A and B are shown apart, each in its own frame.
Chain A
Amino acid sequence: MLANYLRSAIRNIAKERLYSAINIGGLAVGLMAAFLILLFVRFELSYDKEWANADRLYRMDTSFLTGPEPKARLRRLSGQLQAAMLSTFPEEIEAAARLRALEPTIRDGDKVTDELVQWADADLLKIFQFRVLKGDMKAAFGDKSSLAVSRTFAENHFGDADPLGRVLNLKVYNLDRDYRIVAVYEDLPRNSELDIPAVALMDEEAFAEPHWLLRNWGSTSVEQYVLLKSGASWSTIQAGMPGLLDKFVETRSGKGSSFLAMNGMKFSDYHAHFVTLDEMSVMAKMQILIAIAVVLVLVGAINFVNLATAQAIRRTREVALRKVLGAGRPQLIVQFLTESILITLIAAMLAVVLLEFSLPAFAEFLDAPLELSYDDGVFWASLIATVLVVGGLAGFYPAFAISGSRPGRILMANKSAESRGTIILRQVLVTFQFAVSVILIVSTIIIYGQTWFVTNMDPGYDRNNLLVVQGVDRGDMKDKRATLRDKVRKLSMVRAASMSSETPSDGNNSGGNFGPTPVRDEQINMGEIWIDDAFFDTYRIEMAAGRNFSGTNEADEFQDNTDENPVENRVMLNAFAAEQMGFASPDAAIGALVYNGTRPLRIVGVAKNARLQDINDPQRAEVYYFTRDRGYNLTVRFGGSPTEVVEAVRSVWMELAPFTPFVFTFVDDAVAEEFEEEVQMSRILTFFSGLAVLIASMGLYGLAAVSAERRTKEIGIRKVLGARVRDIVMMMVWQFSRPVIVANLIAWPVAFFTMSSWLEQYPNRIDSWLMLPACMAAGLAAFLIAWATVAGRAYLVARAKPINALRYE
């Protein structure tokens, strides 16, 4: 019996080539996309689940509670927290380790590089399991001049040679030491938040200064990991945290817990769930992708249902004959389900083949090591489940609709056997397909638009032709940075150059508490930037009131001071800071006295607002201090070719500090990089919405073909009565335009609300009304696709001589 069903199914698939191709092709593309998403989601959700004590392993984060900004959670925190926690919770904590990431200048003979190295506490080995390839991992934590390196690090430095015993000189801040390599470990898995190319024992003395490296409670210095004792409860620690902060954090006024908060999160949840502010978590993104996967499979399955029901008339004769020969309805249902599951199975196999071919490209595109392993039970189980569910769902309605017909009626009558319900169902499903397509297209347009808007909006300074030489305070350059700036200024293509403590989109956000009085409660958190007198000229930021710092006026220069020994320093503000401090206008602020804590500051000038922070952040209030040579970065305003400028500046650098690597970026590139994630997301969305549209239009083409076939007689009659080809094409196009119109009516509000809430996360965002043209563009695209698809098919039918349609009845 099953053999008969299969034979009948296979013959049917072979006979109806166009429809089978559309069914199988559409489903295969949908399933391929779904499998791809499944692999990606599994990878993203597999982060840090494999550590031996994952159920007791926590990572800490911190929030600063000062200022008007919402509380952002930060990934790194003070190097002081660990000692405080160990002494406060000795009963709960089994092990704790900090990771201090730095980019030391590494010298190996003549070879000089800047690379990421972690300094960690010895308990790191109790918390994380390293696969040691050579040497002794414990020895790396035995003294302060041993280094363990990853396989890749070893290969990069020593190729095939044995790295054990080799010596590298590491230089960063006050640390300048030869390290001997004592162990090589396998690279950490890609699905880990840990990034440890090389690791050495934490060095409290060497990192005592600068203060913020480890010792400042208000800095974001280290990654903090805590392993609980088994049976201990994290809630005990979480509950004790405010008390701990009150006890250990030194403040000028108030309590530690009123300006700091420390939280822990299971490390196995960290990658999926941690968010700094209210941006989308990895988990939320995965949920969106899973929704898209389901939708893509649905869109493919809808083609199947639509074509199956539309073709049903042709099948009804076969059904009627089988019934006459004694088949019961259950047998017919089983037969049709067999056929749909068979088609889905073929589609699934094709999807796996497609996936195999395209996976390397996707892996690169999604930046994840995706691979299809055929011994993966989860993959096969989900594949089989998908085939059964999709095949069953797709075959269910056609099976019941066709098998329910009365044989006599079909064999006798030459009338259309289509029920009104079937036609409506098909309309609803096509509408759904197009609604989904339109929503995806609108989302894609909006994400692109937002990315374009923010990367192109006026940031208040001239973003083009700005080169940033990073880390002029490193190594040998530290004492020569003023010379570097002066020499760079003399280069012919350089218009201006300025040293400052922060540059746009560099991720640095120093801040302090400022206010019109020395009273702590009246002060708010503002940004602090140390600049030289060329800063505003270099960035082309205009003055709002007062004057710029003067390079010839020594009284403008910042002098170190303390709360005990306050000195009046001169400062500039940006317009927003002046407003926040309560001045009615920038002019009103000139000459006024304000305070950083208890230290007095005299305002000499107010600059116009510029977004010198990350472009995604809200406008920040900023206080500028004048210092001739304390900047960390050198910003160069140039004319002419960027590559020539880089080469010219590089040669000046190499002349001054040949053993300190030259690192640079362009401001417009750095700003664009902030949007990497959005760009990535919009590319993913573009790709999948393209697929959805493709599958939907394939289905529409099939439907147009079935409909044209079904209406052959009608078209013939109309032509006999004088209809032109154009009339027929118009009629068919209109027939298929109706579901697209309804789809737009449904899609627009859905897209509008979804994308409005997506845009909310950006302080600088495009106007909501811009979604209207986006909706219209997407709607128009849907129409054009539908029209092109249907018109092509309709033209073929309409062109035929009417007699061909009417001769055979």
Chain B
Amino acid sequence: MLKMHNLSKIYRTDEVETIALNNVNIEINSGEFVAIMGPSGCGKSTLLNIIGMLDNPSEGDYLFFDENVARYSEAKLANIRKRHIGFIFQSFNLIDELTVAENIELALLYHDIAASERRDRVAAVMDKVGIAHRAKHMPSQLSGGQQQRVAVARAVVGNQSMILADEPTGNLDSAHGQEVMEMLQGLNEEGTTIVMVTHSPAHADYARRTINLFDGQVVTENLRAA
């Protein structure tokens, strides 16, 4: 599904040059569940952002379905992104002024889908993640676990083939964290590719494969025994 070849990301300011990613080579296939681990500042989130096309690499190639997107403009990336990739963030990133249903619908809003179909799909996905009874609530009225479930619903409502999760359980207590992990596992079993950044070895165990980053470089890759 995606392949990275000698990919680097360097942040330059006037005085400092920070190498966030250094010669990274990764390949992820459709249907995989991959965890990315590593200490703070090792480049996990940068990698995830580049995979999610929220950012461009400084050097190297990024093949997404055999299309090298490394130098694509933001507009082109946005177009690929909205068709294929769903995002889940540690801090949920729901819009405070919109209801639960509206937040989820947002992911369909920019996809030329009729209003009635949007409604049906939002209803269906809310059922699936178990927050249908909260449809009219504002995010601020929900618990953290519920908010993250809304975020998961938003990430999958557009039938995205890949979900990128940036420490999805970081702001949750263990019970809610596990709930979210099970939900992701379920999605993976239905065929969705999942790439997740996490600090928690326990949660990384849900993944088939773990990529360990250190100072911007891939140090090890572990495959979990099936």
Taking Cβ atoms with an 8 Å cutoff, the residues of A that contact B are: 415-416, 713-714, 716-725, 727, 799, 801-803, 806-807, 809
* Segment with Cβ contacts to A, from B36-44, B87-95, B115-123, B215-223: B87-95
Alpha-carbon distance between A799 and B107 when the two chains are bound, in angstroms: 19
B67 CB-CB contact with A under 8 Å: no
Chain B residues, Cβ within 8 Å of A723: 78, 109-110
Q: Is B199 an interface residue (CB 8 A)?
A: no
Q: Is the CB of B55 within 8 A of A801?
A: yes
Report whether A722 and B111 are in contact in the complex, using a CB–CB cutoff of 8 Å.
yes
A801 touches B93 (CB 8 A): no
Residues of B within 8 A of A807 (CB): 45
> Contacts of A809 on B, CB cut-off 8 Å?
91
Contact of B93 among A724, A725, A806 (CB under 8 A): A806
Number of interface residues of B (CB under 8 A): 27
A96 CB to nearest B CB, Å: 77
Main secondary structure of the interface of A (DSSP, over half): helix
Could you show 18 A-B contacts with beta carbons less than 8 Å apart?
A713-B93, A717-B94, A717-B95, A717-B106, A720-B81, A721-B82, A721-B110, A722-B82, A722-B107, A722-B111, A723-B78, A723-B109, A724-B78, A724-B110, A799-B74, A803-B54, A806-B54, A806-B93
Q: Is B96 a contact partner of A415 (Cβ separation < 8 A)?
A: yes
A720 to B51, CA, bound (A): 13
Residues in B84-134 with C-beta less than 8 Å from chain A? 87, 89, 91, 93-97, 106-107, 109-111
Q: How many Å lie between the Cα of A126 and that of B226 in the bound state?
A: 120
Interchain CB contact under 8 A, A802 and B54: yes
Nearest chain A CB to B9 CB, angstrom units: 11
List the interface of chain B (C-beta within 8 A of A).
45, 49, 52, 54-55, 74-75, 78-79, 81-83, 87, 89, 91, 93-97, 106-107, 109-111, 140, 154
Q: Is the CB of A724 within 8 A of B75?
A: yes
Residue contact A806 to B89, C-beta cutoff 8 Å: yes
Measured CB to CB, the closest approach of chain B to A414, in angstroms, equals 8
How far apart are the CA atoms of A725 and B110 in the complex, in Å?
11
Give the residues in chain B near A802, CB-CB below 8 Å: 54
**Chain A contacts of B109 at CB under 8 A?**
721, 723
Q: Chain A residues near B94: list those with CB within 8 A.
A: 717
> Whose C-beta in chain A lies nearest to the C-beta of B96?
A416
Residues from chain A with a CB closer than 8 A to the CB of B106 are 717-718, 721
Of A416, A716, A717, A725, most B-chain CB atoms within 10 Å = A717
Q: Hey, which chain A residues are within 8 Å of B96, CB to CB?
A: 415-416
Q: How far is the CA of A415 from the CA of B82 in the complex (A)?
A: 27
Residues of chain B lying within 8 A (CB to CB) of residue A714: 95, 97
Contact B78 A803 (CB under 8 A): no
Shortest B174–chain A CB gap in Å is: 22
Given contact pairs A801-B55, A806-B54, enumerate 17 new A-B contacts (beta carbons under 8 Å): A415-B96, A415-B140, A714-B97, A717-B94, A718-B95, A718-B110, A720-B52, A721-B106, A722-B78, A722-B111, A723-B78, A723-B110, A799-B74, A801-B74, A803-B55, A806-B89, A809-B91
Task: Give the complex CA separation of A415 and B154 in angstroms.
Answer: 21
Using Cβ atoms and an 8 Å threshold, which residues of chain A touch B89? 806
Name which residue of chain A comes closest to B74, CB basis: A801
Chain A residue at smallest Cβ distance from B91: A809
Distance in Å from the Cβ of B146 to the closest Cβ of chain A? 16
In contact, A725 and B75 (Cβ under 8 angstroms): yes
Return chain B residues, CB-CB under 8 Å to A722.
78-79, 81-83, 107, 110-111
* Nearest 9 pairs of A and B residues by beta carbon: A722-B82, A722-B110, A803-B54, A721-B107, A714-B95, A803-B55, A723-B110, A717-B93, A803-B49
Bound-state CA distance A799–B54 (Å) is 13
Bound complex: CA A329 to CA B191 (Å)? 58
A806 to B110, CA, bound (A): 19
Q: Which residues of A contact B74 (CB under 8 A)?
A: 799, 801
CA A727 – CA B106 in complex, angstroms? 12
Bound together, the chains give a CA A166 to CA B89 distance in angstroms of: 99
Q: Which residues of B contact A727 (CB under 8 A)?
A: 110
Interfacial chain A residues near B79, Cβ < 8 Å = 722
CA distance A806 to B88 in the complex (A): 12
Residues of A within 8 A of B83 (CB): 722
Distance of A415 from chain B, by nearest CB (Å): 6
Q: How far is the CB of B212 from chain A (nearest CB, A)?
A: 22
Q: Once the chains bind, are A719 and B78 in contact (CB under 8 Å)?
A: yes
Bound-complex Cα distance A714 to B83 (A) = 20
Question: How far does the alpha carbon of A724 sit from the alpha carbon of B91 in the complex, in Å?
Answer: 23
Q: Tell me how far the C-beta of A363 lies from the nearest C-beta in chain B, rounded to whole angstroms.
A: 52
